[in-house]
Structure 1
């Protein structure tokens, strides 16, 4: 993954997946009694893209939206974050997907209205976009695989190409959304897809839900031996990474959580940025923790990052000072996935 090459060609990462308009009450309000709902946008892959852009990584997002007001809002917000949205298709016949957030104590329940959405009609032809020819990384998630048979074919087709035959590495975040999967299908499909990627992200909680309640990070690695880099987000304890040269663990430190949705996407963007910059895996994992904090502190999926000087100071701390020095920014990386 060559960042200088990526900057020269104008794209380092391509993210593919659905982004919806999102409605949510204020954090302290209930959906039933709220007088007003905040409009934002929500999508795992565009979340990653926006954080990559925040971190200075050239990034494109490929998807489809309806030729409607919500689709125009999605394109405007993602594009305003510095993401190239020129490859997003506008579908005149299908709508932009919609989700409604319902805060319920420490978790957020999500109601989806995305059946027959524009993005659910995506298929393997999305991979023909010229942007992929100059990308260093293609980022996909298990959300896309759950949307429709054609979307699952898109993800499977991308992952079926041997690494030696494509110019980019494939990053895959399991991102298990139980509400999107038919019964008894997610575990097998997601394991097969995750094991084919070059870089795989998975939360320990979702790995336990999918593949066995007694799993620990090392057990996840045994289940997924294929990725060159496997990152297991172990709740409030650590992010554990497995690569060809060994095993790394970087502590996750607490922060006040407004809403957990989007933190896993921010974490993935931070890690990918660290890998593209070539500063080493421990530094990449630290950047993942720092980036995730901005998502945990806001009700939207995308929040403001600390300034670059503060991030650099934290990244440069000796290992024994990381916990004390990063306590206000590094975070427990939870999947935060809507259930």
Structure 2
């Protein structure tokens, strides 16, 4: 029986600024609160899974610099018990970081410096060594924010697609988590990795971009299902599409799930809520839970994330979520 989850991809330090409202151009707005925390798909999912306190082996995989932001990532992993043997450091690039402008109860906007994430290469991720630990799941987040791995080659292949194929060949389940980045080759990059993806996680914005569709409303079940079906046709085995108000699990059949409502007064920041949902569902996948049970844990983890400013600090132990 395989056991454990390797979380590869984006490692970012988020500096979250809470502001009253988004300013007009050239205007000034006061920062009411500021906090720094580790973010990015791989980081958030690894630290959220660690916060569940289940004892599951967790592996950090990625590339960071040799700077104060890198130390923040390493310290967070050490405190959470996440294995960092494959979280490589480089002196050639700074650790990726993001200035997050958060309007509580409304929206957040990201100013992103890619740093080492854009330099992360296929050779930095020793798939076979990771599989040799007996890890069950190989998670990759986020395609379209990993420039070297995203590079579309003649014939349509990408280094990310090869990594996922190797992970599968080594006996691991592949989970891919998309990001709402408006990159020119978004759909092409996603199409390259779909045939090697067991579980695809994305929201309505990413679903539209990945399938070259116009904007999809968060509650438009017909168009959400249409986009998910298109991605499944491209090769993804199971598509898990989540919005702020519902989730779709598309396998052999379609299963819809509605989260419990969250009091708007309790919402401090939506930063990390999508990754918390992903972590909850991935834990359910690891444990071979039914789809509905995995989605419920995902919803509850996302709700917990909404009640804190940084991506992972509000995630409680699994027992509290269950």
TM over 0.5: yes
User: CA separation of 1:59/1:204 partners in 2, compared to 1, >3 Å: closer, same or farther?
Assistant: same
Structure 1, unmatched stretches of 5+, are: 7-11, 313-339
Corresponding residue number in structure 2 for 1:34: 31
Corresponding residue number in structure 2 for 1:176: 180
Aligned length, in residue pairs = 294
Which residue among 200, 217, 224 is the counterpart of 2:224?
217
Corresponding residue number in structure 2 for 1:335: none
Cα pair 1:174 1:194 within 8 Å, conserved: no
**Tell me, what secondary structure is at the counterpart of 1:249?**
strand
Q: Map residues 1-339 of structure 1 onto 2, 5 A cutoff.
A: 2=1, 5-6=2-3, 12-26=4-18, 28=20, 32-34=29-31, 37-55=34-52, 56=54, 57-104=56-103, 106-114=106-114, 117-128=115-126, 130-133=129-132, 134-141=134-141, 143-150=142-149, 152=151, 153-161=158-166, 163=168, 165-178=169-182, 181=183, 183=184, 185-210=185-210, 211-213=212-214, 216-225=223-232, 226-236=235-245, 238-244=246-252, 246-255=253-262, 256=264, 257-312=267-322
2:204 and 2:283 mapped to 1: Cα distance? 22
User: CA separation of 1:216/1:195 partners in 2, compared to 1, >3 Å: closer, same or farther?
Assistant: farther
Cα pair 2:207 2:227 within 8 Å, conserved: yes
Cα pair 1:121 1:151 within 8 Å, conserved: no
1:128-164, Cα deviation, whole Å (9 max, x unpaired): 25223322111012x344332345444121134484x
* TM-score, normalised with respect to structure 1: 0.78
1:275-334, Cα deviation, whole Å (9 max, x unpaired): 21123111111011011112111110113334544433xxxxxxxxxxxxxxxxxxxxxx
1:183-229, Cα deviation, whole Å (9 max, x unpaired): 3x112222332453011111123312443135623212321122222
User: CA separation of 1:207/1:144 partners in 2, compared to 1, >3 Å: closer, same or farther?
Assistant: closer
- Higher mean alpha-carbon deviation, 63-72 vs 77-86, is at 77-86
1:78-109, Cα deviation, whole Å (9 max, x unpaired): 33122111221111222112211123571111
Quote the offset at 1:64 in angstroms: 1.4
Structure 2, unmatched stretches of 5+, are: 23-27, 152-157, 217-221
Quote the offset at 1:15 in angstroms: 0.9
**Tell me, what secondary structure is at the counterpart of 2:74?**
helix
2:61 and 2:317 mapped to 1: Cα distance? 28
1:205-264, Cα deviation, whole Å (9 max, x unpaired): 33124431356232123211222221111431x2111123x2222212221332212111
2:302 and 2:150 mapped to 1: Cα distance? 27
1:220 and 1:21 mapped to 2: Cα distance? 32
1:77 and 1:251 mapped to 2: Cα distance? 32
RMSD (Å), alpha carbons: 2.4
